[in-house]
Amino acid sequence: MLLPTATMTAVQAAILEWYRRKGRDLPWRRTRDPYAILVAEAMLQQTQVDRVRPKWESFLQVFPTLRDLAAAARADVVRAWAGLGYNRRAVALHEIARTVVEAGGNTLPATVAELRALPGIGPYTAGAIACFALGLPEAVLDTNVRRVLDRIFAIEALPGVPADRHGWAMARAALPPNADVYDWNQALMDLGATICVARAPRCGVCPVRESCAAVSSVEVSPTVTGPTPLPGLEGFARVAEAPASYRPTSSRRPTERFEGSRRWYRGRAVAALRALAPGATMGIDALGALVDPEYEGLSRRAWLLELLGDLARDGLVVVIGEGEASVARLA
């Protein structure tokens, strides 16, 4: 079963109307500054919106422009990132700024291809900057957008088509053919974050519940003589059989315990070094006692040096010396 174009138009209209009434008031939606939007997108990766709001504003106060960020010491950028986790994102953001400024620029490039050429910018971030800052009709595909489109249209990839390629084709095919692309992309993200959530979606208040394949089978009008694929998906994907009803699963995939994980230890190491005065260092065993509550010098020193080696390769810390005489600081 393929969806007729009329269904796509109705879905777009319903979602856009819902967004203009119910869309979240987020501070980065009040700017078209590519740099400010880049900072927001970097912070929003794997971090909840409520945690990002105050950090985005405070970060921009410290580094108001791309050139300010490029001129800053890496350690100062990592300090300003405190509270967001995944500190490699701060390193990547700093590297983007340095790359642009060292090439003679004062602002981010104005095309998706040029944005993708920068270190650390993938297809989602490039599309987000192009659409939200530059006003280009580019699609975005994050977890929320993918979930919403998958549920509404139940279009599955043909055998051999990678999931990402299929997802991007779907996101591009669903773009409205007018100036509503900015609102459309934001609307899909809001719908996925607030209503069409991963578990226990709020289907009863969804603006497209009557058209969603995950709620009920979509009936093709008898006047349609044949299936009409979404523009851009002809010969690329087929529509899966839509379920008669949607029952969200209550099962959850087991997740790694965060406390005691390698990421937990990495975060504690960066946090301990972040607390030092700029340029100050800390001895390896003193740092180990702060990173691991059960640290006992020699028996865990090799493990800690390996952990710090990973952080050094990520551009987060500098380790000076060897063995027991080692000291560390932020990069």
Tens of pLDDT, residues 127-138: 999 999 999 999
Mean pLDDT of 236-247: 45
> In Å, what is the CA distance from 46 to each residue of 21, 111, 140, 207?
27, 25, 16, 26
Q: pLDDT (tens digit, 9 = 90+) per residue, 206-226?
A: 999 988 988 753 333 333 333
Q: Which two tokens stand for residue 241?
A: 């059989």
Helix and strand totals (H; E) in the chain: 14, 5
pLDDT at 241 over 50: no
Quick check: helix, strand or coil at residue 327? strand
Mean pLDDT of 251-258: 58
Q: What is the reported pLDDT for 250?
A: 37
Q: Where are the domains of the chain?
A: 33-134, 145-179+187-239, 262-330
Q: What is the reported pLDDT for 244?
A: 38
Helix H or strand E encompassing 239:
strand 237-239
Q: Is 41 a catalytic residue?
A: yes
Q: Do domains 33-134 and 145-179+187-239 have the same CATH topology?
A: no
- At the topology level, CATH places domain 145-179+187-239 in Endonuclease Iii, domain 2 (1.10.1670)
**Is 265:307 a contact under the CB 8 Å cutoff?**
yes
**Is 118:103 a contact under the CB 8 Å cutoff?**
no
Dist. CA 2–CA 6, nearest whole Å = 12
Q: What is the reported pLDDT for 242?
A: 44
Q: Which of 148, 87, 142, 138 is nearest to 111 (CA)?
A: 138
Domain 33-134: which CATH number of 3.30.1330.60, 1.10.340.30, 2.60.40.1250, 3.90.180.10: 1.10.340.30
pLDDT at 324 over 50: yes
Q: pLDDT (tens digit, 9 = 90+) per residue, 287-320?
A: 999 999 889 877 889 999 999 999 999 999 999 9
Which residue is catalytic, options 17, 41, 102, 322?
41
Which residue did the predictor score with more confidence, 296 or 78? 78
Lowest mean pLDDT among 42-46, 57-61, 250-254, 262-266: 250-254
**Is 214:154 a contact under the CB 8 Å cutoff?**
yes
Q: What is the DSSP string of 196-215?
A: S-SSS--GGG-TTTTT-TTT
Q: What is the reported pLDDT for 24?
A: 96
pLDDT at 125 over 90: yes
User: Average pLDDT over the chain, rounded to whole?
Assistant: 87
Reported pTM: 0.84
Q: What is the reported pLDDT for 225?
A: 33
Q: Tell me the CATH number for domain 262-330.
A: 1.10.10.10
Q: pLDDT (tens digit, 9 = 90+) per residue, 262-293?
A: 999 999 999 999 999 999 999 999 999 999 98
- pLDDT confidence tier of residue 144, bands split at 50, 70 and 90: very high
**Is 173:235 a contact under the CB 8 Å cutoff?**
no
Lowest mean pLDDT among 126-130, 140-144, 182-186, 236-240: 236-240
